Amino acid sequence: MTTVTRQLSDAQFSRIVSHGGVVHLAGQPAKDRSAPVKAQTAEVLRSIDTLLVQAGSNKSRLLTAIIYLADMRQKAQMDEAWLEWVDPENPPVRACVETRLGNPGSAVMVRVIAAL
C-alpha cells in the first residue's frame, strides 16, 4: 500500500497531498487581493514554488495546472506572469477557466499537480 502524505493540514483541507510519486497542491489564492491580476498571479506562483519545494518537487516537474480567473478579460495579464514563471523546457498541461472565486477581491487561483 502506498502512503498518503498530507502537509499543512487543518480541519478544512490539506495544502499538500502526496501519493504514488505525485504531489497535489490545493488551489492557491493571492494574499494581496488589492493587487492587479499580474501581481496576484506572480504571488500565487511564488507560493506554488515554495509548496513544491516543501513537498520535494519543483516547477520543472509540473504535470497539470488549472488556473481559475474571476474575469477572463484579464487572461492576458495572468499569461504575462505565467510566461515569466513557467519552465519553458517543461510546461505542464494547462486549463484556464473563468469562475467566481470564494474570496472577495481574488482575481486568480491556481491548482497544480507535479511529479515528485
The Cα–Cα gap between 87 and 93 comes to 12
pLDDT over 70 (residue 34):
yes
The Cα–Cα gap between 88 and 96 comes to 18
Q: Nine-digit cell at 12?
A: 478544512
Single pTM value for the model: 0.94
What DSSP string describes 4-57?
EEEEEE-SS-EEEEEETTEEEE--EE-S-TTS-HHHHHHHHHHHHHHHHHHHT-
User: Which residue bears the cell 488549472?
Assistant: 66
Domains defined for the chain, CATH in brackets: 4-115 (3.30.1330.40)
Mean pLDDT, rounded, of the chain: 96
Q: How confident is the model at residue 39 (pLDDT cuts 50, 70, 90)?
A: very high
pLDDT over 90 (residue 1):
no
Over residues 67-106, the pLDDT tens digits come to: 999 999 999 999 999 999 999 999 999 999 999 998 889 9
pLDDT of residue 106: 95
pLDDT of residue 104: 87
